[in-house]
Structure 1
């Protein structure tokens, strides 16, 4: 059975993939939302270069959003913004994109590998595969590998992901919560532009009570003496 490694672009899933030594018969898949930090794409390029395996990259497109891909394509034609209750982005940009990419290559029966660690038992136990007949494995959890061990792994490498964990996945995802988003905007105000554009184009907001433009205004008045390494998302993201 073909092995499919779900590589989110983060340190844990990358560590898992490298330790499992994917072969030419395996598929290492990164589903690109188009909202990752530039350092994530650089990290993926380095993995391919340093580890010697191919990373398959797939992104959402739609005929009603010509020339656009990922999050931009989705919100452009739907005119609907995902939120914490209706997270259509996870389904459309990750799950369905992976399904459409894999079906013509290997069908939908395979052994999928996910990078949940041993200290993320809730994520492991709550996971439900969307593929019937597919075997799901969590190698890091099986081997007792924790965040500290993943960090140690990357210290042994000549390259790493050069952003704090809170910047992983979609850079200003609403699931990170208002406080974390304000902190990120204070240090990286340029990241706010595309999210503000989404809200203005759709006439809606990601949060029911505040816009990203308002969050940016708050961020500009904040001190920048906080440590993003310690920032935690408000809600668990299943995109990775």
Structure 2
């Protein structure tokens, strides 16, 4: 049976993939939302260069959003933006993109590998309950690999992901929570532009609160708060407010 390694662009899934030694018959898949930090893409390039295997890269496109891809394509035609209650971004940009990409290559029967660690038992449990009919392995969980072990591994490599963990996945994802988003914006205010534009476009000609990522505040307001504080936050210690299954 074909093996598919889900590579999110982070250190943990990269560790898992490298440790499992994918061969040319396997597929290492990165589903690109288009909202990753630029250094995530550099990390993927470095993996291919140093480890010698190909990373398949798939992204979302839609006929209603010609010329756009990923998150930009999705939010350009949807009547509402993703939020905690309606996680359409995970379904559309990750799950369905992966299925559409894999189907013509290997069909619908394959063994997939996901990089949930031993110290993430709830993620493993939730995934198994939600996707009961998939053939899925969690080698890091099975082998007792923890976050500390993953970090130790990357300290001894000639390359690594050069951003704090909080900047992984979509750079200003609403699941990171308002406090973490403010901390990120304080150091990288330029990241806010595309998220502010999403809300502006979604709310054009409507009540200002319709279609925002948060029900009670806009990304423009979060940016104002971040710039007003003018603090150098420790992003290495920042944690997301909610669990993210996008990986």
Q: TM above 0.5, one fold?
A: yes
Matched, 1:105 2:105: yes
Q: 1:229 aligns with which of 236, 242, 245?
A: 236
8 Å contact from structure 1 (residues 28, 55) kept in 2? yes
Any idea what the Cα deviations from partners look like across 1:167-215, whole Å, max 9, x if unmatched? 0000000000000000000000000000000000011210000000000
1:1-240 to 2 correspondences below 5 Å: 1-128=1-128, 134-203=134-203, 204-240=211-247
8 Å contact from structure 1 (residues 61, 70) kept in 2? yes
Alpha-carbon offset, residue 134 of structure 1: 3.5
8 Å contact from structure 2 (residues 4, 110) kept in 1? yes
8 Å contact from structure 1 (residues 11, 150) kept in 2? yes
Alpha-carbon offset, residue 78 of structure 1: 1.1
8 Å contact from structure 2 (residues 171, 191) kept in 1? yes
Q: Distance in 1 between matches of 2:165 and 2:6?
A: 18
* Counterpart in the other structure of 2:206: none
Alpha-carbon offset, residue 223 of structure 1: 3.3
Any idea what the Cα deviations from partners look like across 1:22-56, whole Å, max 9, x if unmatched? 00000000000000000000000000000000000
Query: Which 5+ residue runs of structure 2 have no aligned equivalent?
Result: 204-210
Query: Which 5+ residue runs of structure 1 have no aligned equivalent?
Result: none
Aligned residues: 240
Alpha-carbon offset, residue 148 of structure 1: 0.4
Any idea what the Cα deviations from partners look like across 1:71-97, whole Å, max 9, x if unmatched? 000000113200000000000000000
8 Å contact from structure 1 (residues 10, 168) kept in 2? yes
TM-score, normalised to structure 1's length? 0.98
